[in-house]
Copies of this chain bind each other. A is one copy, B any other.
Amino acid sequence: MTRTLLREEVYSRLLDAIVDGTFAPGEQLRDTDLAHWLGVSRTPVREALLRLGEAGLVRSAPGRSTHVAHLDPDVVRDAQAVVSAMHRLAVAEAVSRLTADDLAEMREANDRFAAALLLGDVDAALRADDDFHAVPVRASGNRAVEKVLAQFGPVVRRLERLRFTSQAGRASIDLHQRLLDLCAVADAEGAAQVSFETWQTLRPMLDDATRADSPEGRNC
């Protein structure tokens, strides 16, 4: 049984709090406060914050302060482009390895996604979407892709939680179905392209983001 380190637990909790909005964009994070809140010393908190900083979820001014990153449209757009490219790569590498069970798992996740949209349950919809896309990522066996997605995925998810629309969701159902169909006939290039397009459905959310959260222009 692998050992769970405090810095991993702290990282997960801080990540969740940032993505779900418990920590608001711009909110100051003091590592001494977080240490007290989590009941640990500063070191695991510092280590977790460093990782969050690498993903762009927090911004630190050395020796000064740390803040939850604003939803800077440039930052999110950059992360979204990286996430799209990683999923396309994963799909291209996975298509020849996907089993019937994998495809069934993707169908089931897409069905859950559609059902969640009907209920207006954003959290369930995003979980189903995660489950859907996780299948080819896992099948690709590319650990570097997994690491990049673990790092930049939350940056994109954070926007989705705030800007999710049923309209974009419904477009995703169809794209998910096309992706499934192309995987089923082992069309790696077609599937990779559709995977990329699936993640382009986020672009309208990014355009909306320029009218939210950072009224004084961009952080530099």
Known pairs A5-B62, A143-B75; A89 contacts B85 (CB<8 A): yes
Contact partner, A144, options B2, B5, B51, B81, Cβ 8 Å: B81
Looking at the complex, which of A112-120, A128-136, A145-153, A166-174 is the stretch in contact with chain B? Answer: A145-153
Contact partner, A62, options B3, B50, B62, Cβ 8 Å: B3
Contact, CB under 8 Å: A89 / B93? no
Contact, CB under 8 Å: A78 / B143? yes
Known pairs A62-B5, A63-B3, A89-B85; A78 contacts B47 (CB<8 A): no
Known pairs A50-B50, A86-B82, A89-B85; A144 contacts B56 (CB<8 A): yes
A93 to B80, CA, bound (A): 13
Interface centre among A2, A143, A147 (most CB of B within 10 A): A147
A175 to B156, CA, bound (A): 34
Interface centre among A50, A62, A86, A144 (most CB of B within 10 A): A144
Number of interface residues, chain A, beta carbon within 8 A = 32
**B contact residues around A180 at 8 Å (CB):** none
> Within 8 Å of chain B (Cβ to Cβ): is A123?
no
CB distance from A218 to the nearest CB of B (A): 12
A54 to B53, CA, bound (A): 14
> Within 8 Å of chain B (Cβ to Cβ): is A88?
yes
Contact, CB under 8 Å: A145 / B78? yes
Cβ contacts A to B, 8 pairs, < 8 Å: A2-B62, A56-B144, A75-B143, A78-B141, A78-B144, A81-B89, A85-B88, A144-B152
- Please give me the 7 A-B residue pairs with the lowest Cβ-Cβ distance, nearest first: A78-B144, A82-B144, A78-B142, A85-B89, A85-B85, A79-B144, A3-B62
